[in-house]
Every structure is written in structure tokens, then in C-alpha cells.
Amino acid sequence: MFDTIITNGLLIDGTGKAAGKADLGIRGEHIAAIGDLSSAQAKNYIDASGLIVSPGFIDIHTHSDFSLLVNGKAESQVHQGVTLEVVGNCGHSCAPCPKCDALKGSIFGYQSDIKMTWNTFDEYLTVLDEQPLGVNVAAYVGHGTLRIAAMDGNINRPATSREIKEMERLLAASLEEGAIGFSTGLEYSPGSSAPTSEITQLCKVLQQYDRLYATHVRNRDIYYEQGFGEALAVARNAGVRLQISHIAPKFGAPAHAMEHTLEMINWAREDGVDVAFDIIPHNWGPTTMSSILPPWAFDGGIAKILERLATPSLRAALKDNPNPIWQLIPAGRWDLIMLFQSNQNPGLIGMTISEIAAKRRESDPHDTVLNLLLEEGEGLFNMTWAANNFAEADNRLCVSQPECGIISDTITLAPYGALGNTRWSPSSYGWTSRFIEKYHRKDQLITLEDAVRRITGLAAERLGIQDRGVLRVGNIADITIFNSAEIHDNSTMQDPNRYPSGITHVLVNGKLTIHAGQRTHENAGRVLRPGA
């Protein structure tokens, strides 16, 4: 007797091999049988006629560390077939935090009414696991978080030997307590102040645990060779497995940058480096608006940032950032940058910075950005914008590489409650559907089997997770059932928080979470810790 039998579906198992007709039987939270189950009995049946039965989709790059504490039901993810997401990316994680007050300013989606009651990584994961989770969650420990925890005074400087030793201790403890890997965000404060030697020392600790190193590299535009070269050199010297996050070069990079980067990766592989990469399936990329500021502007936390923004004599210095997050800024392409999230100026959301400056009759759009940050007040770190930063030709070249994963680079949201008015990125609600619809069904760049592999089996393999990501007897029953002819991203830049079409059923740990396109009461997700 099975708990659930999925009948009449076309199974795509997540390995990339050809789809095939088969039934799938679930007992408890495991896949118990695959084949002809027409004579078997079950408590529940799901008729998947005309539908694809695949492993649950895996998002290996999110920033939902805090939003899952606000609403763990993960509506924006589970409605698009996601059954596992990985938080703690780009050097930002919620733990360890022996100095929680100092950490608050760097946590994406932080909300002051959620109390930070944890200190260690174990304590954070325990608090997260106590939430009703709609998806499974794994977590990286972030380099920026380690710096905040270990360094005294100014954190936007190279760390001392003593401080690095403390980071190494905290990293090892976090890996022992359940971190799935280690991430850096070398374009963000405070990671941008760390030399390559510091990253290498920490990765040597990581190597002892055989966990994944995921990096938002230091540069992807005019100095792209340095950014990607540094990541490859760290992986080679520390002996770690490397995941280059959202690899597509940004505006300002030469036309050959993506092709050259792939050549660099191939050379590194010939030298024994285990490296793969991923992209956001969108030409618009999000980040925090505060990233426009130079590193020194962050010293002293939010209160000091607001004080500097309010000081007219500092305006010229605040605009002088030798390493801007986007080359669109010094190029003056404010028409390609859109305000995406603002609590204090919601009426401006969806407008470009050029349009906002014109509306407010401000002559310098750079001043407009600084004014918006000042007006946002203590919530300025949650203010986001998106830039039309990526060339579609580069995205296509990446997708054509078999080792290219697909990510959202967003935070998990819900269209109601405390997250109801939050917009984070163009991919929050539709990244899986956009990827399958665009690169498989419309552009026919890859097969459906390979499209599924990129967001299931490949993702699990990179993370070192062996019992998910593939439809195999004995594996956990994280399953997404969808209509490949109807899957469609309904989100737009002006209205991004819309569920996709075509996702019919989703099972998380064997529990039916989406049934006939509708959310059930089940929240069967849990925190995954390596070796647990």
C-alpha cells in the first residue's frame, strides 16, 4: 500500500536522460517505486495525464534568510515548483551573530519586529526549522557575516591575523553546525575590503569539510578578468569546489568577456579545479540600492550612513565610488535602472531613476538616488533597484553550457501579510517558468530534459545532496508536476508578484503542497543539514 501514486505522467528524472512513461509510488516521504503500478493500491492518486513529473525544483541562490522567518510558507517559491532553496548567498547570512545589532544592517529583508534570538549557526537553523516551512532550506555561512562577528571597529579594511583566526573558528563551527557551504560577496561591504589571501585562508578551512564555495565575484564588468580569475585562483589554491554565482558579465564588460571567462574556466578545469556556475534567467538584475555607496560610507552602521547622506558637504564624496556596483552609474545610464522596492516612496516603484529625477525636478539623478536612500531612513538596506545589465547573447551562451545552473537571486515572498507589499526582484515569482518557457519551449536552446536537470539534478549534485534532485527509488519525494506546454511567467517589471501558470502539483517531503494549482495547508519543508 502506497500513500500516493502518481499515474500516467511523463517522468523526467533530473539526470538529463530521455523522458519516459511511468507511475511513481510514494510511501511516507520517500519514492518507493517507479514503473507500472496499475495494480497497486494507494490512499491517494494523482492523475498526471499530459503532464511532466519531475524532481522538485531547487534554487541554489536566494537571500530568504530573514523573509522565511517573517513567513516561512514560501508562497512565491512553492507556487513555481521549488521544493528546496539555499540561503546565505553573496556573503550575507543571519549567523553566526555574536554582535547581532551590528549584523542587522547587512541582512537582506530584515524586519525589526522579528527578534534575533540566536547567536550561533546552529541556533539560527533551529529557529528557522521551528517555522512552518513550505520548502526545504539549506544555508551557506556568509563571509561578510564572519567579518562582522570577528572584527573590531572598522570592518571595511583588511583583517588582522587574529581576526582571520577568529573567522576561521566561526566558519568551522558553522560548518559543524549545519552550514552547507561558504559564500562571499566581494562587491559588497565588508567583503570588498578583504584581500584574496583572506578568502583563500577561509576556503582552506572549508576544504576540510568538502563543502561548496559560492562566490559573488569582485567584478564582472571592466575588470572581469580579475574578478573571475581571483575566484578560480582561490579554488585552485584552497582545493575547494567552486560555484560562481550569477556569472553573466555586466554592462561595461567587453563583448568577448563571457567567452573569455568560459575559456578561463576550462583552463582551470584542466588544472583540476571543480568549478561550475549559474545565471539568473533575466536581463534585469536586482541589488540593494545602498550598494551605490563607497565602502567607507557604511562605517558606523545605519545611523552614520543617514547622517552622511544628510550632510551636503559629503555629497560629492558619496558619489565618488572607484568601484561602482554597476558601470551604468558612471555611464549615466539611469534610464536602464528601475526602482523596485521602497517603503517610503511606493508611488515611484516601477519608474527608472531618470524618470524619478525628472518627476522630482532634480537635475542630477545620482542625487536623486542618495535622496531616496535618505528618505527611506532605517529601512534603507531593504530598498532595491534593478538594472537592465545583462546581454541576452551572454545568457544564451551560458545556458548552452551543460554545467550552467539557474537561480533566482531573490527572497521568498508571499502576496499577503507582512510580505504582501514587498518586491525584491523580477525573478521572485517566475524564475523557473521563465527559464523553461524561454530557453526550452520558445528558443529551443536546450531540451526539456536538460532544462529540468539544470534546476534539479545538477543543483543537488553541486550542493552534495544525494537523496534529492533525481527521481530514484529511495530518494525523498520532492516532486513537481507541470504542463510543459502551458508553463508561463506571468510577472512583469511593473507587476512582478504574480504566480506563474502551468505548475499543477508540488510535493514536499511526500506531502502535497500544491494540488491542481492551489496551495494546500501542508508546510512540510525542513532545514537540511549536511550529514543529518
pLDDT of residue 532: 72
Within a domain: 145: yes
Task: Assess whether 297 and 272 both reside in one domain.
Answer: no
Within a domain: 297: yes
CATH of the domain at 514: 2.30.40.10
Q: Please say which residue of 388, 417, 438 terminates a domain.
A: 388
Residues 459 and 469 sit within 8 Å (Cβ to Cβ)? yes
Given the C-alpha cell 560562481, which residue does it identify? 244
Task: Assess whether 112 and 48 both reside in one domain.
Answer: no
Task: Assess whether 176 and 88 both reside in one domain.
Answer: yes
Cis before 158 (ω within 30): no
pLDDT of residue 275: 98
Task: Assess whether 94 and 241 both reside in one domain.
Answer: yes
Gap between the Cα atoms of 154 and 148, Å rounded: 9
pLDDT of residue 163: 98
Within a domain: 453: no
Within a domain: 449: no
Burial classification of residue 320, based on how many CB atoms lie within 10 Å of its CB (0-12 exposed, 13-18 middle, 19 or more buried): exposed
Task: Assess whether 193 and 215 both reside in one domain.
Answer: yes
Task: Assess whether 67 and 185 both reside in one domain.
Answer: yes
CATH of the domain at 204: 3.20.20.140
Task: Assess whether 113 and 124 both reside in one domain.
Answer: yes
Task: Assess whether 153 and 263 both reside in one domain.
Answer: yes
Within a domain: 229: yes
Task: Assess whether 217 and 335 both reside in one domain.
Answer: no
pLDDT of residue 299: 86
pLDDT of residue 514: 98
Comparing CA positions, the residue from 29, 35, 27 lying closest to residue 3 is: 27
Q: Please say which residue of 363, 388, 413 terminates a domain.
A: 388
Mean pLDDT per block of 10 residues along the chain (532 residues) reads 98 98 98 97 97 98 97 98 98 93 84 92 98 98 97 93 98 98 95 97 98 97 97 98 97 97 98 97 91 90 93 94 91 95 92 96 96 94 92 97 97 95 90 98 98 98 98 98 98 92 98 98 98 76
Where in 186-304 does DSSP place strands (E)?
212-216, 241-244, 275-279, 284-288
Task: Assess whether 162 and 267 both reside in one domain.
Answer: yes
Task: Assess whether 320 and 251 both reside in one domain.
Answer: no
Q: Please say which residue of 373, 388, 403 terminates a domain.
A: 388
Within a domain: 510: yes
- State the residue range of the domain holding 39: 2-54+468-486+499-519
- Rounded to the nearest 5 percent, the helix, strand and coil shares of the chain are 35, 20, 45
Within a domain: 248: yes
Within a domain: 397: yes
Q: How many domains does the chain have?
A: 3
Task: Assess whether 70 and 162 both reside in one domain.
Answer: yes
